Amino acid sequence: GAGVSQTPSNKVTEKGKYVELRCDPISGHTALYWYRQSLGQGPEFLIYFQGTGAADDSGLPNDRFFAVRPEGSVSTLKIQRTERGDSAVYLCASSSSGGGSYNEQFFGPGTRLTVL
Amino acid sequence: SQQGEEDPQALSIQEGENATMNCSYKTSINNLQWYRQNSGRGLVHLILIRSNEREKHSGRLRVTLDTSKKSSSLLITASRAADTASYFCATAGTYKYIFGTGTRLKVLA
C-alpha cells in the first residue's frame, strides 16, 4: 500500500476483554514502532521491531501488553484484560532504517481504543 | 516517559505571522525530528536535523539545533490557516524516538 494502515480505526471494548490492534507498514520497511498517545500528550514509545524481532520492548507498560511481527511485515499489538487506563490512540509507524533512527518515520492513522 | 518538552504549550497567531516553537530535551541524540499532527491522529514528518547540524530549512520551515543547550526551535514563516495543528519534536537515540509534549498552534484567518 501507499502508506501505513491500521485496523480497526476505532475499538470499543469492555474492561477485562482482550483486544488486538493491527498495523500494516509500508512495504519493504524493516523497522516498525508502536506508540500510545493519550489526550493532550505526545506519542509514548511502546515497542520497536527490526524485522521479526522486538529489538526494544522497554515501553510496554506491563505484561498485559504484547506485540508480534511474525513475518517481518504486519504487526499485531495484543492487550489482555484491558483496563480503563488503556484507553488511548495507538499509533504505528514504519521506517526504512536498518538499525538506526536516522530516517523519518511514517505513521498510520492510529486506532482509538476505548475501554468502558 | 517523555524526554522532550515543547514551549509554548499553545500558540495562537494571525495568518501571515511567524510561529516559533521550542523543544528541550535531556540526553544525547543522533538527530531531532519535528512532526505535525492534525486532529489527534497520524503524525506527519516535517524535518530532520542531525546532531552535527545547526540549522536546516525546508520551504517555510526553519529548524535550529543547539546540542550544548539541548534545545531546538521550529520556525514557521508566513503562517497559513492550514498550519493549525499540534507540533512535536522527537529525539532519536540509537534507534528509539522519544516525543515531546507538543505545541498546539492555531492560525487565525
Ordered mean pLDDT values, 10 residues apiece, chain A (116 residues): 90 98 95 93 92 90 96 96 97 78 84 97
Strands A10-13 and A111-115: parallel
Higher pLDDT, A17 or B41: A17
Rounded to 5 degrees, φ, ψ at B70 are 50, 55
Residue B33 reports pLDDT greater than 70: yes
Residues 50-79 of B with CB under 8 A from A: none
Give residue A44's pLDDT: 93
- Cβ neighbors of A63 (< 8 A, separation 6 or more) are none
Asked if B14 has any chain A CB less than 8 Å from its own CB, the reply is no
Alpha-carbon distance values, B95 to A66, A74, B58, B69 (Å): 20, 20, 24, 22
* For A61, nearest residue in chain B (alpha carbons): B1
The residues that bridge with A5 in the sheet, in sequence order, are A24
Distance (Å, whole) CA A33 – CA A22: 12
Rounded to 5 degrees, φ, ψ at A84 are -60, -30
Give residue B41's pLDDT: 72
Asked if B33 has any chain A CB less than 8 Å from its own CB, the reply is yes
* For B39, nearest residue in chain A (alpha carbons): A109
DSSP state of B81: G
Give residue B40's pLDDT: 63
What pLDDT band is residue B43 in, cutting at 50, 70 and 90? very high
